[in-house]
Amino acid sequence: MAAAYGLYSHIQSNKRRSIALLLGLFFLIYVMVFAGALAAEALMYDASLDWLMRAAWQDTIHALPWATGGTIIWIIIAYRFNQSLIDAVTGGHEVTRKEEPRLYNLLENLCISRGIPMPKLKIMDDTALNAFASGLNEKQYSITVTTGLLDRLDDAEVEAVLGHELTHIRNGDVRMLVIALVIAGVIGFFAELIFRLLIEGGLRWRPSRSSSSSSDSGKGGGFIAIAIALGLIAVAWLLSIVIRFALSRRREFLADAGAVELTKNPDAMISALRKIAGRGEIEDSPSAVMEMCIDNPRSGFADLFATHPPVDKRVAALVQFAGGHDPGPIELPPPGEPMEEQAAPEQVEPPKDPKPLLPGLPPGTIPGPWGPRGSSGGN
């Protein structure tokens, strides 16, 4: 499991999947364009389903250059400004060694130990216990940590969390997840656009209008065409959601393993997960940001759509493959209350009159390295 960090095949797989995701984005966009064209034709003409499908296909072909250009512009905007948008939503701000020497030194030591370029370090003012990595290239990569996590985790646990996020960056998980979020954003935008078209156009729909461009246009296909368009929109939206879920769950196990290899301390990663479990919900944070975090807490029915595996399974994997020890759930005081400090080991005072290390020697004899010798130094 620990060998997952820096695993060449895993990194290459992520690169291939990133390219596949971008190609899949264009495919889903074209599906959405066809669905929109089909809905528009159904609202404008009372014709047969076959005629409406052919007309929608012709509209899609004419709209392909515009759809492709719009998608490329969207990707460029996301590439250039994704980190700024995340910072604006979370309120994260970059810190220096002078401002946060403890956190900065921990991250710097991890990067130096493996020759990893150091990402930007940011802090978000929130009582939640969480952290996430973001960015699409080395100039953008950053790790954001909440103040709640810094207050409640010790140095070894914070180091394990930083190692977890560094592994996401090293393995290409961050870049791939951002691309998946871009896909979801584009699909959501087109879906809302088409739904608005259907709602506003449906109020003015007059099915008595027939097309005169074809002798076999027929009638009565409008309702079926609209149902097909809605079905295509729903399938495209669900596929974008499934992609996000599939990318998130598996990568967390590998990132946990990478943190253990970086820190050589599986117990620190386990205790960090136990402290974070159930305490990572960042208020007013969009789901896209929570999917990037080290933990995205969900319970009950919502757990079916969770993007992260349960903490219990992650801890069990570390115990099985990394040899860690599970302390079980860890209770923490409410936010604002000081953490209990561990008692220092008792200092045993030496006796006032210590006994000689070698009993039985005559007075005035000093034990030497090759046996006892007299205090006068004679042999």
Which residue, 216, 257, 266, 282, is CA-closest to 53? 216
| Amino acid at the residue 268 | A
Cβ atoms within 10 Å, residue 78: 18
Catalytic residue among 41, 157, 159, 165: 165
Q: Which residues contact 104 (CB under 8 A, 6 or more apart)?
A: 95, 96, 97, 121
Following CA atoms 331, 332, 334, 337 in sequence, which dihedral angle do they give, to the nearest 10 degrees?
A: 140
Residue spans of alpha helices (H) in the chain: 8-44, 49-90, 101-114, 147-152, 155-170, 173-203, 222-263, 266-276, 287-290, 311-322
Biggest alpha carbon–alpha carbon distance for the chain: 129
**Is 165 among the residues known to form the active site?**
yes
End-to-end Cα separation, the chain, in angstroms: 63
133: helix, coil or strand? strand
Annotated catalytic sites, by residue? 165
